[in-house]
């Protein structure tokens, strides 16, 4: 009967209809579904890449600011340390000679080890570009797997995966925060939990795979590891409260999940050791959780990280605190309306309540310890309680937008899966609106400008291996981290750009003068000489971009000076001269 009705509508004969049905069934097969999702996410990536920029060359890095230089350096550091028999958790190539504990830096050891072949073959800049390009694709694929597991449908899961991988949170962090974009273990861990809950995966298999995923996540970001743990605890609590007849399944999952956490800690014991011993050297708070909280208006007003974030919304969004990368809390009225409608329509469904309350908790947590409205900061919010606790005080609340995006992606996939069974046109229209409202702006790129002196073939003619330099522009003001990484750590730096300046140097006036945040004082020359002697510096290398006041004061020094291949070298006098 179905063939007789459908065949005229499709203008095919019954044999042709059977062919189409078989094709649809093939699309539901895991490999075919995966390939379709991968194609969709790669096409999106290609559309977002900046025109005229080859990300597989070292001429540009994707993103803006100084953070990509840190990650490019980190991707080079871990292979270098391991192949040279060095302790990879403590580096002395930057902030020499005292060094830096990298467990307290966003040094992404997991990513560095995964991307090692690319780093060895093409260098740190290309490795960074490959890693940052892979981030949204991997995140989308992992979320796709979770959505497909929950819905059993391919194209709604593709949309759900896209919303997570290319949502406002991920799009903002793609500007330069590799440790916050390489987040595919989060939906992967959720997928493993769902498979275990449904009995499709044995306990030992679940615990083992989850331990590996958690260890991988810890090696990407301690912050995301902590926030995922908070989110898992919240979901467990909501399930215990709202779905009491499933507590047996919940207890079983928690037992195996605890084993997974224990396994992840065992796998990362060396990292945890250096994390613990480095607590005393780390500042009380790396960044202010008040500054990096979501503005409530960001839920409905898009920033320039999305195509909707045009000049029309800039008068509002330009007042948000933090920076552009950390303003990824946008939801939009279409998605907010859809989610609200669905929650109301399915309010009697217990799992809908779990998802809805978890998403609402994420929205409230994103707002941070104090309410922000259009850049104005008001009264206290619930997050203020967590912002006082050890480790948790290092969490920036706005970054919890990632978990809302994941909840929204899963809910959207469920909505589309149910609607598409009888209202295909409405489902397609809703999917298009959601994707277009979150469509990212074009990805920016930054040119890598290396002075000829600091290129590998030249620097070896001017300096001996592992001599210590002060390279200007200093730290985050320039690209010295990339230059050092490209030179395979040939020279050391009495400076650098990591998560924070070591305590012993943070308050030095000279360090601020070198950064250019403070005009050189009358004792600049004497302070610089004392600094160079105490840090074993052989030369100050000033390159293009050094602040003019700093160049003026350097030119007054009575040090031997030479102009070498696009840089001015000020040779440090010996202590006895």
- Write down the domain spans for the chain: 2-36, 61-445, 452-571
What mean pLDDT is predicted for residues 424-429? Answer: 87
| Helix spans in 152-220 (H) | 154-165, 168-173, 178-181, 185-197, 203-218
Per-residue pLDDT of 489-548, as tens digits, reads 999 999 999 988 888 888 899 999 999 888 888 899 999 999 999 999 999 999 999 999
Asked if residue 17 has pLDDT above 60, the reply is no
pTM for the predicted model, two decimal places: 0.92
pLDDT for the residue 24: 43
Distance of CA 128 to the CA centre of its chain: 12
pLDDT for the residue 288: 85
What mean pLDDT is predicted for residues 102-125? Answer: 96
Q: Token match 């194209």: residue? A: 155
- Higher pLDDT: 505 or 111? It is 111
Residues 6+ apart with CB under 8 A from 62: 49, 50, 53, 55, 68, 128, 129, 132, 133, 174, 443, 444, 445
Per-residue pLDDT of 449-476, as tens digits, reads 999 999 998 999 999 999 999 999 999 9
CB atoms within 10 A of CB 503: 11
- Following DSSP, what letter does each residue of 332-373 receive, concatenated? -HHHHHHHHHHHHHTTT-HHHHHHHHHHHHHHHHHT-SEEEE
Cβ-count burial of 348 within 10 angstroms (0-12 exposed, 13-18 middle, 19+ buried)?
Answer: exposed
Asked if residue 62 has pLDDT above 90, the reply is yes
Q: What percent of the chain has pLDDT over 90?
A: 79
Q: Are 387 and 268 in contact (CB under 8 A)?
A: no
Q: Are 451 and 471 in contact (CB under 8 A)?
A: no
Per-residue pLDDT of 366-420, as tens digits, reads 999 999 999 999 889 999 988 888 778 889 999 999 999 999 999 999 999 998 7
For residue 193, name the pLDDT band (cuts at 50, 70, 90): very high
Q: Token match 């020499």: residue? A: 96
Q: Are 293 and 369 in contact (CB under 8 A)?
A: yes
Q: Are 493 and 468 in contact (CB under 8 A)?
A: yes
Per-residue pLDDT of 313-326, as tens digits, reads 889 999 999 899 99
pLDDT for the residue 16: 38
Q: Are 78 and 112 in contact (CB under 8 A)?
A: yes
Cβ-count burial of 124 within 10 angstroms (0-12 exposed, 13-18 middle, 19+ buried)?
Answer: buried
Q: Token digits for 394?
A: 């290092």
Q: What percent of the chain has pLDDT over 70?
A: 94
pLDDT for the residue 6: 30
What mean pLDDT is predicted for residues 335-348? Answer: 92
Report in angstroms the alpha-carbon separations of 345 from 75, 160, 352, 360, 568.
Answer: 48, 20, 10, 17, 69
Q: Which helix (H) or strand (E) holds 61?
A: strand 60-62
pLDDT for the residue 93: 96
pLDDT for the residue 30: 78
3-state secondary structure 532-575: HHHCCEEEEEECCCCCHHHHHHHHCCCCEEEECCCCEEEECCCC
Closest alpha carbon to 132 in 83, 97, 98, 170? 170
Report the mean per-residue pLDDT for the chain: 91
30-48 and 14-28 helices cross at what angle (nearest 10)?
70
Per-residue pLDDT of 474-490, as tens digits, reads 999 999 999 999 999 99
Q: d(Cα 428, Cα 97) in Å, to the nearest integer? A: 60
For residue 28, name the pLDDT band (cuts at 50, 70, 90): low
What mean pLDDT is predicted for residues 322-332? Answer: 93
Q: d(Cα 169, Cα 333) in Å, to the nearest integer? A: 17
As a 3-state breakdown, the chain gives helix, strand, coil percent values, each rounded to 5, of 60, 5, 35
Report in angstroms the alpha-carbon separations of 419 from 146, 210, 413, 424.
Answer: 19, 33, 10, 7
- Higher pLDDT: 17 or 240? It is 240
Q: Which helix (H) or strand (E) holds 379?
A: strand 376-380
What mean pLDDT is predicted for residues 111-118? Answer: 97
What mean pLDDT is predicted for residues 116-143? Answer: 98
């Amino acid at each position: 009967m179905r063939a007789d009705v459908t065949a005229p509508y499709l203008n095919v004969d019954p044999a042709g209809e059977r062919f189409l049905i078989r094709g649809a069934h093939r699309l539901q097969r895991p490999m075919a579904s995966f390939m379709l999702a991968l194609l969709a996410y790669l096409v999106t990536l290609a559309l977002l890449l900046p025109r005229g920029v080859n990300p597989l060359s070292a001429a540009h890095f994707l993103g803006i600011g100084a953070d990509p230089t840190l990650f490019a350096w980190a991707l080079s550091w871990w292979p270098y340390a391991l192949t040279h028999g060095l302790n990879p958790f403590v580096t002395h190539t930057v902030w020499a000679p005292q060094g830096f504990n990298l467990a307290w830096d966003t040094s992404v050891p997991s990513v560095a080890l995964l991307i090692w072949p690319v780093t060895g073959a093409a260098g740190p800049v290309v490795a960074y570009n490959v890693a940052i390009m892979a981030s949204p694709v991997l995140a989308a694929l992992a979320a796709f797997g979770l959505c497909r597991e929950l819905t059993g449908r391919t194209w709604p899961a593709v949309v759900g995966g896209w919303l997570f991988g290319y949502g406002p949170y991920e799009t903002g962090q793609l500007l330069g925060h590799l440790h916050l974009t390489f987040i595919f273990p989060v939906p992967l861990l959720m997928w493993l939990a769902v498979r275990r809950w449904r009995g499709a995966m044995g306990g030992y298999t679940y615990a083992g795979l989850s331990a590996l995923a958690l260890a991988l996540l810890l090696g990407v970001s301690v912050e995301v590891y902590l926030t995922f743990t908070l989110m898992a605890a919240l979901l467990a609590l909501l399930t215990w409260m709202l779905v009491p007849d499933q507590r047996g399944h919940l207890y079983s999952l928690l037992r195996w999940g605890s084993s997974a956490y224990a396994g992840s800690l065992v796998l990362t014991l060396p990292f945890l050791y250096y994390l613990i011993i480095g607590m005393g050297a780390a500042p009380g708070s790396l960044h202010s959780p008040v500054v990096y909280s979501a503005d409530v208006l960001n839920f409905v007003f898009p920033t320039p990280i999305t195509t909707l974030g045009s000049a029309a919304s800039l008068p509002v969004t330009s007042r948000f605190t933090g920076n552009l990368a950390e303003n990824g809390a946008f939801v939009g009225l279409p998605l907010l309306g859809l989610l609200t409608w669905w929650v109301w329509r399915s309010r009697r469904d217990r799992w809908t309540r779990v998802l809805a309350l978890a998403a609402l908790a994420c929205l409230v947590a994103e707002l941070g310890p104090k309410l922000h409205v259009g850049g104005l900061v008001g009264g206290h919010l619930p997050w203020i309680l967590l912002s006082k606790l050890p480790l948790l005080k290092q969490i920036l609340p706005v970054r919890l937008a990632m978990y809302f995006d994941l909840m929204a992606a899963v809910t959207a996939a469920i909505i589309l899966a149910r609607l598409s069974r009888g209202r295909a046109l409405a489902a397609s229209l809703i999917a298009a609106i959601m994707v277009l409202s979150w469509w990212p702006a074009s990805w920016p790129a930054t040119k890598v400008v290396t002075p000829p002196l600091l290129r590998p073939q030249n620097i070896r003619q001017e300096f001996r291996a592992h001599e210590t330099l002060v390279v200007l522009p200093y730290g985050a003001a320039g690209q010295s981290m990339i230059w050092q990484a490209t030179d395979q750590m040939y020279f050391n730096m009495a400076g650098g750009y990591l998560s924070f300046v070591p305590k012993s140097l943070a308050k030095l006036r000279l360090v601020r003068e070198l950064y250019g945040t403070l005009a050189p004082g009358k004792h600049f020359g004497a302070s610089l000489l004392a600094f160079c002697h105490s840090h074993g510096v052989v030369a100050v290398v000033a390159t293009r971009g050094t602040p003019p006041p700093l160049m003026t004061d350097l030119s007054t020094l009575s040090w031997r000076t030479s102009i070498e291949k696009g840089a001015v070298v000020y040779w440090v006098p010996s202590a006895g001269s």
